[in-house]
């Protein structure tokens, strides 16, 4: 049986690399792609390697980054360009295999097992991909070559930039075991701290720990972490065009100013609920549960949810349910910094429902048709072409555009 040949390709300093391609004057300079400080997103999203050498890191506040690097060039993000370049990179990947699974805009797994007869082994294909991306797009990729997804990702992270690292059975322990345990996918800060408390600091330590003991500490995830550490992960790479079943749809925003009153919260809930409901209608889905998430100015947060009597994709019904949840859950001990709305437990829009004598289904359907008409106008003329009057009651909060694209990585386990 042929061993799998899995690649993990990671575009180096992706946002910064795209900016340098589009603006040659940035090439070789210390640049950082940063969010908008006025909208309170003033952090480093990506820094170029010259900036990283000066200590600039992703997630660092702009003022901190400038303390490390006085001549840092701060560049605003251009997500449409990043999406465009991501598509170009994907086209190169798809020349070699139809099993391409994105992990965010700048990373993908490729299963090239079935392509080895045409293009050579995994290392040969990795070298071709690296050369093509550099020649055709002017950016670089780091690639891990392995027989499973987790080891391949370790390989792409092992050397940067513009490197190819093979991690397979013959050299796995030599390369992987000395690495810190947090280098494994899904070992975040909380899991790392817990493992450290038990004396597990490297991937080798984790691999040598009895999986049954890990299961006592972490539940089912303990067995998964053990498999990851031992290099025996068998998770398949999803095929091109595969999509996981959508289980929930949400949107959140860090607000341009602190939320100080119920009126502020209601305005934000209306804006966010419109975007959530619109996405549901696009997918022909309705939610049966509404969830809110809030974070105060000291970054303390909580989530609350409630079940609806009837599935809905009517934006104001979602907003009203979210506002009732908020009123029942928060007493304004502190101003709020961010807020989110999510519709979950989704069902098909044409699913049969049990009607209540007290509900007005005809009225709900009329409002949903009105929402769909708004969707059509906004799709054609833009989000701001038709807005509720409430958004004009507050200049700062009303300018929040919930349709601005924020990229989130696809869940690792979504493909099985």
Got the DSSP string for 10-22?
EETTHHHHHHHHH
pLDDT for 405 equals 42
Residue 162 marked as a ligand binder: no
pLDDT for 96 equals 95
Structure tokens belonging to residue 221: 């995830």
Residue 106 marked as a ligand binder: yes
The span from the CA of 316 to the CA of 271, in Å, is 10
The span from the CA of 398 to the CA of 385, in Å, is 14
263 is catalytic: no
290 strand-pairing partners: 306, 343
Map tokens 């049986």 to a residue. 1
The whole-number mean pLDDT for each consecutive block of 10 residues of the chain, a chain of 416 residues, reads 87 95 94 76 86 91 90 91 93 94 91 93 96 96 96 94 94 96 88 93 96 92 93 86 71 89 95 92 90 88 90 92 94 91 87 56 80 87 87 87 55 52
Q: Where are the domains of the chain?
A: 1-176, 177-242, 248-398
Neighbours of 224 (CB within 10 A): 20
- The answer to whether the beta carbons of residues 88 and 137 sit under 8 Å apart is yes
pLDDT for 349 equals 77
The answer as to CATH 3.40.190.10 being correct for domain 248-398 is: no
Class for domain 177-242, per CATH?
Answer: mainly alpha
Query: Which of 51, 29, 137, 147 has its CA nearest to residue 86?
Result: 137
The CATH number for 1-176, chosen from 3.50.50.60, 3.30.70.141, 3.40.50.2000, 3.30.70.270, is 3.30.70.270
Choose the catalytic residue: 19, 107, 291, 317.
Answer: 107
The span from the CA of 413 to the CA of 110, in Å, is 15
């Amino acid at each position: 049986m042929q061993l799998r040949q899995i690649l993990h390709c990671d575009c180096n300093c992706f946002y910064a690399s795209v900016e340098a391609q589009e603006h040659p004057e940035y090439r070789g300079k210390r640049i950082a792609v940063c969010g908008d400080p006025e909208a309170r997103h003033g952090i480093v999203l990506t820094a170029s390697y010259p900036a990283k050498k000066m200590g600039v890191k992703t997630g660092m506040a702009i003022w901190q980054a400038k303390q490390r690097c006085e001549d840092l060039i701060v560049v605003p993000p251009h997500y449409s360009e990043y999406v465009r370049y991501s598509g170009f990179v994907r086209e190169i990947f798809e020349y070699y295999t139809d099993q391409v699974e994105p992990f965010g805009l700048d990373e993908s797994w490729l299963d090239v097992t079935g392509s080895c007869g045409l293009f050579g082994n995994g290392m040969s294909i990795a070298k071709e991909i690296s050369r093509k991306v550099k020649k055709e797009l002017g950016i670089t990729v780091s690639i891990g070559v392995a027989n499973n997804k987790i080891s391949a990702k370790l390989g792409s992270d092992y050397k940067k930039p513009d490197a190819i690292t093979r991690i397979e059975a013959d050299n796995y322990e030599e390369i992987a075991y000395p690495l810190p345990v947090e280098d494994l996918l899904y070992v975040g800060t909380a899991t790392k701290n817990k493992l450290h408390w038990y004396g597990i600091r490297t991937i080798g330590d984790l691999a040598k720990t009895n999986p049954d003991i890990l299961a006592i500490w972490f539940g089912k995830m303990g067995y998964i972490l053990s498999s990851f550490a031992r290099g025996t992960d068998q998770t398949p790479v999803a095929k091109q065009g595969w999509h996981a079943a959508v289980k929930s749809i949400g949107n959140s925003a860090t607000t341009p100013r602190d939320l100080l009153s119920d009126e502020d919260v209601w305005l934000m809930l209306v804006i966010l609920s419109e975007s959530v409901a619109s996405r549901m209608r696009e997918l022909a889905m309705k939610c049966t549960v509404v969830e809110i998430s809030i974070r105060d100015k000291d970054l303390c947060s909580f989530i609350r949810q409630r079940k609806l009597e009837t599935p809905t994709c009517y934006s104001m019904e979602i907003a009203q349910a979210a506002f009732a949840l908020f009123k029942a859950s928060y007493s304004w001990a502190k101003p709020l910094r961010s807020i989110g709305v999510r519709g979950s437990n989704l069902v098909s829009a044409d699913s049969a429902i049990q009607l209540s004598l007290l509900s007005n289904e005809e009225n709900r359907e009329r409002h949903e048709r009105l929402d769909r008409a708004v969707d059509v106008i906004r799709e054609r003329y833009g989000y701001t072409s038709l807005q509720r009057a409430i958004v004009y009651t507050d200049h700062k909060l009303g300018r929040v555009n919930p349709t601005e694209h924020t990229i989130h990585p696809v869940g690792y386990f979504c493909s099985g």
